[in-house]
Structure 1
Amino acid sequence: MNLDNPPFSRFTHDGLELAFFDEGDPSGYPVLLIHGFASSANVNWVFPGWLKTLGDAGYRVIAIDNRGHGASDKPHDPALYTPPLMAGDAAALLDHLGISEAHVFGYSMGARLTAFLALAHPDRVRSVVFGGLGIGMVEGVGDWDPIADALLAPSLDVVTHERGRMFRAFADQTKSDRQALAACIMTSRDLLTVEDMARIDMPALIGVGTKDDIAGAPEPLAALMPDARALDIPGRDHMLAVGDKVFKRAVLDFYAEIGGR
């Protein structure tokens, strides 16, 4: 196992080459990780220690670089970044690996994609963890059009929108394809309805930092779902909640409680 610097493989779906890693215990129950906007499998899951945490606990840990991100292909057409298409990439990765069912754990945009995956393929999803996205899944998370503008601006110096500056700086730090990210943010924000959330009936954990001003609270989202529990991650904002030890312990306890079928 290489839990600190995993090798990536590639597969093709929907005309795109997509990168992923498949680490941990190959005989362990699979956990599929779906990262957030402007992030990558490494930035979201390896660097904050999730791969090591889950791998050391005996899980098979799989993470995809979403289209437009990481080492995956980066088309510039916004029509290619709708949540059903991006969730379809994750389902195709399970097919590629011959995995019939997995725990699915998404952060921020990845949480939304996890919800779309659970709705489209409920038989493939043993449980869901939504990190960094609470009732914003249904009610929205504010105006993100300035994010696209910030990504396409000639430099960070001319960006005045606070959230735009945060994501532009993050994209610059990760050396991302900013045009692909701008295309993604234009069309990847479809909301789920109250009725949609009620249909996601597998066990669910929703973890949001108490200082997260993007996600919306986890408790109202959990209340819409048949088998969901909410977790407040103390003192963490949207960027820092992902690697928090309270979150990690809660996820491990959640998986231990529900097990794999």
Structure 2
Amino acid sequence: MNDTARHETIRSFDGVELTIHRLGAGRPVLLLHGLFSDATMNWMKFGHAQALADAGFEAIMPDLRAHGQSGAPHDPAHYPPDVLMLDALAVVEALGLDQYDLVGFSLGARTAVRAVIGGLRPRRLVLAGMGLEGLAGWNDRAAFFIDAIDRFDSVKHGDPAFYSVAFMKSQKIDRKAARLLLQSVGDTAPKDLAALTMPTLVLCGDEDRDNGSPDALAEALPNASHATVPGTHMGSVTKPHLGRALVDYLKG
């Protein structure tokens, strides 16, 4: 069954509009997409949101700031430290979410971690496409993407940044806004992970180590397990196994 997504906007803490896509009915699952992606690409295009809806959940999928249909301001004042965490808190408050689950992929997983440290208390948590080094060593990862933005027009095939630039082009990313956003994101110290006391699944492609070791992340969390799905970092999103794994874990 293919449902039609509903769309709405909220104003975040600083007035920037965030677009939220909703699919299904039931216990809410807040899904945070990855860098340079959006809710459609990460969750809807390959059926993951539909799998959740078919299993009796409501998939709630914001486009992150500077992504998709959400606001992408060019004023640095709209990118304070941890701005994506502040946006996640604003979404939960604006929608009055209670007894919800929280899922993040890559940058979305990092945002979910920051949001729990910042006070969110989901029933269950899924950190997909993330390893321990992707949290504690985020500044190095961000530097790679900032460099890709700065060299955007000169990156050729064979350059380590080629596929990132190609994805930005396909997603029509606002590079100025994306650069400001990347500068607002900081590292998460392993000691801060003690706040993640809820049951947590670290879920990665079996060929995905883009953000470090998922095993090390699961071991660093108070109440976590680790599972794999087929694929690389980007490839795992294109396969139905990701949605099935989310349903299996969240229905448990």
TM-score, normalised to structure 1, is: 0.87
Instruction: Tell me the secondary structure at the aligned position of residue 67 of structure 2.
Output: coil
How far the C-alpha of 1:99 sits from its partner, in A, is 1.5
How far the C-alpha of 1:150 sits from its partner, in A, is 2.1
Alignment of 1:1-261 (within 5 A): 3=3, 6-13=5-12, 14-25=14-25, 28-77=26-75, 80-81=78-79, 84-123=82-121, 125-140=122-137, 142-153=140-151, 155=153, 157=155, 161-162=159-160, 164-188=161-185, 190-234=186-230, 236-257=231-252
Instruction: Tell me the secondary structure at the aligned position of residue 155 of structure 1.
Output: helix
Counterpart of 1:205, as a letter, is: L
CA distance 1:128–1:147, shift in 2 (3 Å) = same
How far the C-alpha of 1:160 sits from its partner, in A, is 6.2
Please give the root-mean-square deviation of Cα atoms over the aligned residues, in Å: 2.2
| Contact 2:33-2:63 within 8 A present in 1 as well | yes
How far the C-alpha of 1:18 sits from its partner, in A, is 0.8
Runs of 4+ in 1 over 6 A off after TM superposition: none
Tell me how far apart the structure 2 counterparts of residues 242 and 147 of structure 1 sit (CA, whole Å): 20
Counterpart of 1:8, as a letter, is: H
Instruction: Tell me the secondary structure at the aligned position of residue 40 of structure 2.
Output: helix
CA distance 1:174–1:226, shift in 2 (3 Å) = same
Counterpart of 2:246, as a letter, is: V
| Contact 1:20-1:63 within 8 A present in 2 as well | yes
Segments of 5+ residues of structure 1 without an aligned counterpart are none
Q: Percent identity?
A: 32
Aligned residues: 250
CA distance 1:114–1:155, shift in 2 (3 Å) = same
Tell me how far apart the structure 1 counterparts of residues 211 and 84 of structure 2 sit (CA, whole Å): 20
Deviations 1:10-32 (A, max 9, x none): 1111220110112201xx11000
| Contact 2:48-2:242 within 8 A present in 1 as well | no
How far the C-alpha of 1:104 sits from its partner, in A, is 0.5
Tell me how far apart the structure 2 counterparts of residues 19 and 247 of structure 1 sit (CA, whole Å): 24
Tell me how far apart the structure 1 counterparts of residues 90 and 45 of structure 2 sit (CA, whole Å): 25
Segments of 5+ residues of structure 2 without an aligned counterpart are none
| Contact 1:34-1:106 within 8 A present in 2 as well | yes
Instruction: Tell me the secondary structure at the aligned position of residue 198 of structure 1.
Output: helix
How far the C-alpha of 1:122 sits from its partner, in A, is 3.8
Deviations 1:134-180 (A, max 9, x none): 11244426444242232233525458641x22211101001121221
Tell me how far apart the structure 1 counterparts of residues 16 and 2 of structure 2 sit (CA, whole Å): 26
Tell me how far apart the structure 2 counterparts of residues 137 and 167 of structure 1 sit (CA, whole Å): 17
Relative to structure 2, which stretch is displaced further, 247-256 or 33-42? 247-256
Relative to structure 2, which stretch is displaced further, 211-220 or 16-25? 211-220
TM-score, normalised to structure 2, is: 0.90
| Contact 2:23-2:50 within 8 A present in 1 as well | no
Deviations 1:110-154 (A, max 9, x none): 00100111112243x111111111112444264442422322335
Instruction: Tell me the secondary structure at the aligned position of residue 8 of structure 1.
Output: strand
